[in-house]
Amino acid sequence: MRAFVASGADEASLLQRDALLALGTWTDDGPFGAGTAWRRGDVRLVTIAEHHLYRDFLDRDLEAHFGARPELVVYLSKHKSASREPSLTVHPVGNPRGADFGGVPGRFAPAAPPWMTAALRRLRDEAKGLPYAVTFEATHHGPLVGAPTFYIEQGSTEREWADVEASRAIARTLLALEPAGGPVAIGLGGGHYVPRHTDVALGRRVTFGHLLPAYALEGMDPAVLGEARATSPGATLAYVHRKSLSKAGARAWEERLGALGLEVVHEADLAPREGDKGS
């Protein structure tokens, strides 16, 4: 079972939910919480009343209600940034350091590398012609859940939160989503939107789990790197945006990655996506 989760406290989340209902064929699956659950194949679409950032272990409630453990949880969400740039984003869930927006400091939800990377690629295609940047974001907020999870978001201002076309692009992405193929990597370095990791995911046969930007690495307990690796299922590789770190810092983090059994790769080490049947 996969679950798409909307929040009554998030206006863009509800718009994305409504786009999913309008563009797909769903069956009423009875009540869930304060709202209706909808079913489409093995997918459940639910709405929770509270803000999704602060509802830890929703996967347990989904399993208890539907009698099946979620293999994937996708949170529908608005995106907010100081730059106010129109953006459509996907990102893993967790807190490399503090927990200002839900979850627990130093804890991560399991990432969903094949699904999240496929969502980035599909969203880039579905949003063609729309005035939005489409990108990964780094791992940076809650909630804490036990199932593979990612966020898909539209923003960055009230104008974009109300954009039906952006919500439809997200809905089309999710309705057609299939997991991508390729080895799993975790990413280190770069800014909040991890542009090098985004470019590598779009151009190379690789899928990304947790993404730890340069600012999160500053003062981060190195033990948290083990948490990121453990919660990136199937990870065998690491990609480091070296230019965003000092030479000494890049070497130190690469040594830690190697100690965790991860092979640090360059973009040229990864096969191009031509011929890759995955999204």
Q: Do domains 2-175 and 184-269 have the same CATH topology?
A: no
Instruction: Transcribe the chain into DSSP letters.
Output: -EEEEEETT-HHHHHHHHHHHHHS--EEEEEETTEEEEEETTEEEEEESS-GGG-TTHHHHHHHHHSS--SEEEEEEEEE-TT---EEEEE--B-SS--TTSS-TT-BPPP-HHHHHHHHHHHHHHTTTSS-EEEE--S------SS-EEEEEEEESHHHHT-HHHHHHHHHHHHT--PPPS-EEEEE-S-TT-HHHHHHHHHBS-EEEEEE-HHHHTT--THHHHHHHHTSTTEEEEEE-GGGS-HHHHHHHHHHHHHTTPEEE-GGGSPBSTT----
Asked if 192 and 137 touch (Cβ cutoff 8 Å), the reply is yes
Structure pTM? 0.96
Q: What integer best gives the mean pLDDT of the chain?
A: 96
Pick the closest to residue 220 from 161, 126, 139, 279 (CA basis).
Answer: 139
Total Cβ atoms within 10 A of residue 176: 13
Give 111's Cβ-side CA count (13 Å radius). Answer: 32
Domain boundaries, given as residue ranges, for the chain = 2-175, 184-269
Rounded to whole angstroms, how far apart are CA atoms 41 and 61? 20
Which positions ≥6 away from 67 have C-beta within 8 Å? none
Kindly state the average pLDDT of the residues 210-235: 96
Q: Mean per-residue pLDDT for 3-15? A: 97
For 2-175, give the CATH class.
Answer: alpha beta
Render pLDDT for 35-50 as a digit per residue (tens, 0 to 9). 899 999 999 999 999 9
Answer for the pair 119, 177: CB distance below 8 angstroms, yes or no: yes
Q: Quick check: 237 pLDDT over 90?
A: yes
The tokens for 46 are 């639910």
Sign of CA dihedral 173, 177, 182, 184: positive
Q: Is the pLDDT assigned to residue 252 strictly greater than 90?
A: yes
* pLDDT tens for each residue of 163-222: 999 999 999 999 999 999 999 999 999 999 999 999 999 999 999 999 999 999 998 999
pLDDT score recorded for residue 81 = 84
**Residue 219 exposed, middle or buried by CB count within 10 Å (0-12, 13-18, 19+):** exposed
Is the pLDDT confidence value at 3 over 60? Answer: yes
Give the rounded percent of residues in the chain with a pLDDT score beyond 70: 98
Here the tokens at position 75 are 């949170």
**pLDDT number for residue 274:** 77
97-126 pLDDT, tens digit each: 888 899 999 999 999 999 999 999 999 999
CB 267 within 8 A of CB 201: no
Q: What are the φ/ψ torsions at residue 165 (nearest 5 degrees)?
A: -65, -40
From CA 10, how far away is CA 249, in angstroms rounded? Answer: 38
* 228 phi, psi to nearest 5 deg: -65, -40
**Would you tell me which CATH number, out of the four given (3.80.30.20, 3.40.50.10700, 1.20.1050.10, 3.30.2130.10), belongs to the domain 184-269?**
3.40.50.10700
Is the pLDDT at 277 greater than 70, yes or no?
Answer: no
Joined tokens for residue 156: 């960055």
Give the CA dihedral 243, 253, 219, 136, nearest 10 degrees.
60
Q: At 275, is the pLDDT very low, low, confident or very high (cuts 50, 70, 90)? A: low
Query: What's the mean pLDDT in 21-38?
Result: 95
